[in-house]
Each structure stands twice: as C-alpha cells, then as structure tokens.
Amino acid sequence: MSQFSLDRYRGAEFATLSNLPADFRAWNGILRTIGKAACGVSEDLCMVMDKHDKLPETPEAKDFIQACDYYHWGILSGPFQSAKLELQPFLDEPAHYGMRGLTMGELLLRIEEQIRQLRADIEEIQGNGTIDAWGFKLRSTSPGVQVPTASPYQLAHELLFALQGLESGLTDDPVTEKALLEGLVKRAKLDLPAPRKGRAKATTTGRPAMVYLSIVKGKIIFGASGLLWEQYLSAKNITTRARESRLNSIIGPASTAMRVLKAKEGEEQGEIVTENRRLAIEKTVLDPAFLGGYGGRGLAYKPLDWKPRLPCYFCQGVYGCVSVLDWTAEEKAKNLLDSK
C-alpha cells in the first residue's frame, strides 16, 4: 500500500448534453438518470446530517460537501438546465411514445424539483450542518476548481468512518478486523438513520457498482468501482477520468498484474474454468507483479443492498483481496466463474 498514493483532487470537469438524439423523447433516459442521481446525493447528505447534526471542520467533511456541490453544478443541474432550454418547444408533448398523460413539461418539473431539493440539502449542511457555518466558506464549484476525485457516496462513508473513530485501536488481529468489517456492512457500527420520509428512494445511479472495505496497516480502506450512469455518457466519462486520476499511480502496476493473471490462467490446460482460475491466482501471488498488501482482508458488497459478496477473480488475483467471511466451495467456484 505504501508504494502507491491517491490523487485526491483534480480540476472540475463539467458534463454536457451534446450530440443528443433529434427526437426529444429519446432524452428521457438521461433526464431521469439526472433526477435519480440527484436523489442519491441528497440521500447521502441527509444520512450524514441526520447522524451528525454539526460537522467539525475536517478534511473529510470539506471533501464531502465540496463533492456534493460539484455534482450538483457540474454533473446534474448545469446539463439539465441546458436540456430544459432545448426542450421548451415540446413542453406540451407527451413524454412517451403513444402514451397520454405525463408531458415533457411535467417530466422536467419533476426532475427540476429533485435537483432543487439537492441544492436545498447542500445549503442545509453548509449552514445548519456545520459548526459556525464553516461550510458556506467553501469555494463554489466552477470549471477548473479543484474537487475531490471520489464520489459523494464514497466520501460520505469515509467521513462517517472518521467521525466514528473506527480506526482507533485497530490491531492486526483477524478476529477484531472481521467483527469491525461485518459490523460496517451490516450498518450496525455506523448506526445509520433511516432515509427521510417523503423522499424518493435512492437507486444505484451515480453510485459505485461494488465496494470493497478492507483494513490495511490499521487503516480502513474504502475501495469503489466505477459509477453507474445508465445512458448518461458524459457523466460516466467524467467520473471515469476522475477515478483514473485518483488511482493514477496504481493503474499501471495493476494492468501489469492483470496481464500476468490472465497469462497464468491461459497456461492452465484443465477443463474446469474455476480450477484454472484458482490455480492462476495461486501462481500470480508468487509473481513480482502481484500487488499483495493493497487489497488485504476485507468485505465486498453492493451499495444498494449491503449484502456481502466475495471479491471478484481479478481483485483476488491482482490485489490479494480476501474475504473475512467463510464461504462454501460452491460459492467460491460460482464467484470465480461469474467474474468476467
């Protein structure tokens, strides 16, 4: 872990809705994605505020609020307002083919309300949610301003870990590590509040597909995959570049280790794919390209349901990720087979 560093900030890159289809109804998917992502960031903000009513001025708190502000202006609100202007001639048209009822104007109003609620939540945490309202002193996001390379979802949980002081007293004891990680995934350690009543239920949109929590040298490491953006390619490309920037020092060695892993798998002549992959992992661990010590013992899970998963084939073979939970041989084999 020590040989790598994370690039935590980069210049803010704003999304655009260029090259949209000529048929205005084909924009619906992207517009709904923007609305769902706004609800997700709002849920992250409310989760933090309802757990801690006054945030201290810490690096983790600043990063979280700055990231929420960036997503609002650069990923969601700005592109939405541009689309709204383009769609003015079609406000009274049905929003869906062959269906009466919801008009484009009504759809836009619905999504605009979700974005407005996000802005209100950001201003609430900046003022009422920070000690002496230090949140209002943060720089408003504009193109080029330095913003965190991690998503609001990831930063919200890193902030909660820090506020709970979960790393204090951590040792190399596997039993202690297992208890802490299981507690985190069950949300018991964080004792997170229920979503606010009357709010739209958050989805996976704008959030990582998979998370891997591990403990490496007394630190809780929150590893997250790329974010899910459905048809919203501009947001997908921007957040992918941000993630690549964050992991810049790791990507090269990880690519090398992955090629080694695939080569080791290709050397196996057995008919059972899972056995070939198991042997490939064992051999890659002995190769100088292996990035052992970066993944460590941990738990993988999907953000929406928080159910534990096994680390994927590549995470096991490249980083040495090992689940702290006990899994059956059948579960392990299925996990290796399902990894693409």
Tens-place pLDDT, residues 201-232 = 888 999 999 999 888 777 888 889 999 999 89
- DSSP state at residue 297: E
- pLDDT number for residue 317: 94
Find the mean pLDDT for residues 146-174. Answer: 88
Per DSSP, helices labelled H in the chain are 28-51, 59-70, 78-86, 104-127, 152-164, 174-185, 233-246, 248-267, 273-285, 313-314, 329-338
Contact of 281 with 313, CB cutoff 8 Å: yes
Tell me the two tokens of residue 167.
């790393």
- pLDDT number for residue 201: 83
| Strand partners of residue 130 | 55
- pLDDT number for residue 21: 78
22 vs 111 pLDDT, higher one: 111
CB-neighbour burial class of residue 317 (10 A; exposed 0-12, middle 13-18, buried 19+): buried
293 vs 178 pLDDT, higher one: 178
Q: Which long-range contacts (CB under 8 A, 24 or more apart) does 195-200 make?
A: 195/43, 195/46, 195/47, 196/46, 196/50, 199/39, 199/42, 199/43, 199/46, 199/117, 200/36, 200/39, 200/114
Give the confidence band of 171 by pLDDT, cuts at 50, 70, 90. Answer: confident
In this structure, of 59-63, 191-195, 285-289, the range with the lowest mean pLDDT score is: 191-195
The pTM of the full predicted model, rounded to 2 decimals, is 0.91
- pLDDT number for residue 294: 64
337: number of Cβ within 10 Å = 12
pLDDT digits (tens, 9 = 90+) for 81-102: 999 999 999 999 888 876 677 8
- pLDDT number for residue 2: 42
- pLDDT number for residue 220: 85
3-state class (DSSP) for residue 103: strand
Whole-number Å distance between alpha carbons of 293 and 295: 6
In this structure, of 64-73, 116-125, 197-206, 234-243, the range with the lowest mean pLDDT score is: 197-206
Radius of gyration for the alpha carbons in the chain, expressed in angstroms and rounded: 22
- pLDDT number for residue 165: 86
pLDDT digits (tens, 9 = 90+) for 244-269: 999 999 999 999 999 999 999 999 98
Q: Find the helix or strand (DSSP H, E) in which 223 lies.
A: strand 219-224
- pLDDT number for residue 125: 97
- pLDDT number for residue 1: 39
Q: Find the helix or strand (DSSP H, E) in which 222 lies.
A: strand 219-224
pLDDT digits (tens, 9 = 90+) for 292-327: 766 678 889 888 878 889 999 999 999 999 898 899
Residues in the chain: 340
Contact of 205 with 29, CB cutoff 8 Å: no
pLDDT digits (tens, 9 = 90+) for 31-61: 999 999 999 999 999 999 999 989 999 999 9
Give the confidence band of 166 by pLDDT, cuts at 50, 70, 90. Answer: confident
Residue that is written with structure tokens 């009466």 in the block: 100
Q: Which are the contacts of 151, defined by CB distance < 8 A and separation ≥ 6?
A: 67, 71, 206, 207, 208, 224, 227, 239
